Chains A and B, each alone.
Chain A
Amino acid sequence: MLLDLIPHIINGLALGLLFALLALGFMLIIGVMEVINLAHGSLFALGAYVALAMMAPDGGLPFAFMEPYYALPAVPRYLIALVVGPLVVGLVGMGLELCLRRTYGSDPLYGLLLTFGAALVLEETIREIWGSSEYALPIPRGISGGFIAGDLIWSTYRIYAAVFAAGLIGVLWLFLNKTPYGAVIKAGAHDSEMVRALGYNLTRLRLLVFGFGAALAGIAGIVMAPIWGIRPVVGVDAVIPAFVIIVLGGVGSFWGAVSAGIMVGLVVALTAAFLTDWSLLSMYLLLLAVVTFRSRGLAGKSSVLEA
């Protein structure tokens, strides 16, 4: 009986690690910009759609000029999608940061509202280009399908997704903790004066960090796409877990976010296994419970969130 749960746990881990990836980007933006990026979910969705454009020539998409490219085999196209997707999303994120600049220093509510407007614009743009119907992201054969081991059915993709996300989180940790760039970003999240004191350009740091956080959302969107499917409103489904994780894990805590991500992923996956319809509700209930009893999350300190 307990063994039967293992595939669901793998599923939860895959979800949770992807949520964590999304949330870490979200957290970097909060840290350096002090902005709650409500468009984060839309950037996630955009990543999935860009990957779709790189993978699937069907559906009457306006990408006829890319015909020769679609002759490539699936694996290189997938690898290209994994690079181009975050790149495009990162650039869009940087564009958003340029707009956000005007709100720095005023009521933080304005930043929130601006990113809400941006989410609306992104979602409508996606609808305009790809329509409202649902797509599935084609993936190379090597990571699709499933196999049977020990009387259980395993999904290859979920295992791939979990490993991929875990690997990326590891790289991100190394980047933040073992490189000088990471040190500057952490300094920026702690105290913007310190960045200036260290002789770095805060304006450029903000631009790059926003782009970087957006790119993380984009890549999470690509890897999530085969699990959730691709539709314009997928952004809302993604931005809420990011909130939950930030609140659970506490702003500014890397491993707090990762462990909260895994926790949320497991809760959602296990609820889905038994009460399919209610799986997302469990996440909101989790959020309420945590915020009610621990207003600063499990590991969080006082932060901009309370301003």
Chain B
Amino acid sequence: MDYDIKQTTAWVTGPILLSLVLFGTMPFWIEAVGLYQYLGVEVLIWVIFALGFNLLLGYTGLPSFGHGAFLGIGAYAFGLAQFEVWPNLWFCLAASVVVTALFGAVTALFLSHRRGIYFALMSIAFGQIFYFIASKWTDVTHGEDGLLNIQRLPVELGFAQLSIRDNAELYYLCFAIYAVLVIVLWRLTNSPFGRLLRAIKQNETRVAFVGYPVTLYKWAVFTLSCAIAGLAGGLFAMAQEGAYINVMSLQWSGIVVLMVLIGGGFVSFWGPVLGVALYFVARDVLGAYTDTWLLWFGLMFVVLVMFKPQGLAGIWQDLSRRRAAERPGRTASAGMEG
């Protein structure tokens, strides 16, 4: 399972440009293909969340089964900051990121010296604890009802103020954040830090024996991943115009794992993007025909784990490797660009 080794020194690669063009033009064609604007918003928010999550799962090999909790915490933080402190977009998003990162940092203190299944178990326990607290602490979270009437705050640019009440407008805020994030994460995964994360995944013991305090890096990447989850949570609160508890459940935490894996997060930077897109399109397209689409999606997942655990990106890499092998004269540098 090898991450793609092309263009590791570039800031903007072919696939990044392609994703920017595709996502950037989406509001103009999404309705033409029978879908709707809000779906685009959902996809982008979950892409942001999943890219951050894959730093843990795909890059560092830490199977966190409680990550949905941090998306939820980010959403609540956004709502509370808006209601109680200062209804300013940048302030509230910053609050989402900082608060969620703090929760993540404390959680990571308990998790970062764990590995393998114990890490998974502990992450489930923490996810469930946050879920329970959110469901019972009704003074703050309003429990099962959710935190309602969260506003889509206007984008303050100093010289101008842009409304994002409309779904397409909100979409472009998410897109701008995605564009920055995807470039930063691409850099990160090819930096000394990113290279070290992948080394931890491959052989934690050896990383310690070449002089790195492994626990510190695991703590840092968990916290970073939670900060990104918080950012996605803040956007999600605006998208849904409320913060709800369901995303914090074990099932949703599992679905994130499932999306990332189906897309191929183990072998490609782009796995989470592919997986999230597939999930939401499947939900809407399959969901139009059958109520039990999640059953079929789950079956697809099981079959994929059995036969191709490298996911969509893995299938793509195999195909392009085969194509490259059939075309003599070109070196078999496999895979998606980047």
**Chain A interface (Cβ within 8 Å of chain B)?**
36, 99, 102-103, 106-110, 112-114, 116-121, 124-125, 127-128, 233, 236, 240, 243, 247, 277-278, 280-281, 284-285, 287-288, 291-292, 295, 304-307
Check B110–A288 contact: CB distance below 8 A: yes
State whether A278 touches B136 (Cβ < 8 A): yes
Residues B31-72 near A (CB distance < 8 A)? 61, 63
Most buried by B among A119, A124, A291, A307: A124
Q: How far is the CA of A110 from the CA of B304 in the complex (A)?
A: 10
Q: CA of A185 to CA of B124 in the docked complex: distance in angstroms? A: 29
Chain B min CB distance to A181 (Å): 27
Partner of B117, one of A108, A114, A125, A281: A108
Is B307 an interface residue when CB atoms closer than 8 A count as contact? yes
- Which of A102, A117, A277, A280 has the largest number of chain B CB atoms within 10 A? A117
Q: How distant is the Cα of A278 from the Cα of B110 in the complex, in angstroms?
A: 22
Given the contacts A120-B298, A284-B129, A305 and B118 also touching, CB distance less than 8 Å: yes
Residue B91 at the A interface, CB < 8 A? no
Q: Which of B95-125 contact A (CB under 8 A)?
A: 110, 114-118, 120-122, 124-125
Complex CA–CA separation, A164 to B298 (angstroms):
35
Closest Cβ of chain A to B97, distance in Å, is: 25
**Distance A243 CA – B66 CA, assembled complex (angstroms):** 15
B residues sitting closer than 8 Å to A (CB atoms) are 61, 63, 110, 114-118, 120-122, 124-126, 128-129, 132-133, 136, 249-251, 254, 257-258, 261, 291-292, 294-295, 297-299, 301-302, 305-307, 309
Contacts of A128 in B (CB 8 A): 291-292, 295
Say yes or no: A102 contacts B63, CB within 8 Å. Answer: no
Contact, CB under 8 Å: A110 / B117:
no
CB <8 Å contact, B298 and A124: yes
B125 in contact with A114 (CB, 8 Å): no
- Does the CB pair A118–B110 fall under 8 Å? no
Known contacts A124-B298, A304-B117: A117-B129 contact under CB 8 Å: no
**CA of A243 to CA of B297, assembled, Å:** 26
Write out the residue numbers on chain A whose beta carbons fall within 8 Å of the beta carbon of B117. 36, 108, 112, 304-307
Told that A103-B305, A119-B254, A120-B258 touch, could you supply 7 new A-B pairs with CB distance under 8 A?
A107-B309, A109-B116, A112-B117, A117-B298, A118-B302, A120-B251, A128-B292
- Rounded to whole angstroms, the CA-CA distance of A128 and B294 in the bound complex is 11
A residues less than 8 Å from B132 (CB atoms): 278, 280-281, 284
Most chain B CB neighbours (cut-off 10 Å) among A106, A120, A306: A120
Query: Judging by beta carbons under 8 Å apart, are A307 and B306 in contact?
Result: no
Q: List residues of chain B with CB within 8 A of the CB of A117.
A: 258, 298-299, 301-302, 305
Is the CB–CB distance between A36 and B254 below 8 Å? no
Chain A residues within 8 Å of B133, by CB? 281
CB pairs A–B below 8 angstroms (7 shown): A114-B302, A117-B299, A117-B305, A118-B302, A240-B125, A243-B124, A281-B132
Residue in contact with A110 in the complex, picked from B254, B295, B305, CB distance below 8 Å:
B305
Cβ–Cβ contact A106 & B309, under 8 A: yes
Q: Are A240 and B307 in contact (CB under 8 A)?
A: no
Question: In the bound complex, do residue B309 and residue A110 qualify as a contact, i.e. CB atoms below 8 Å apart?
Answer: yes
Evaluate contact between A288 and B298: CB separation under 8 angstroms.
Answer: no
| Contact A284 B128, beta carbon cutoff 8 Å | yes
Residues of B within 8 A of A109 (CB): 61, 63, 116
Cα–Cα, bound, A280→B63 (Å): 23
Chain B residues near A247 (CB-CB < 8 A): 118, 121
Q: Which residues from A are CB-within-8-Å of B126?
A: 288
Nearest Cβ distance between residue A281 and chain B, in whole angstroms? Answer: 5
For A106, list chain B residues within 8 Å (CB): 309
Given A36-B117, A236-B251, A284-B132; A112-B63 close (CB under 8 Å): yes
Shortest Cβ gap from A86 to chain B (Å): 23
Q: How far is the CA of A280 from the CA of B114 in the complex (A)?
A: 24
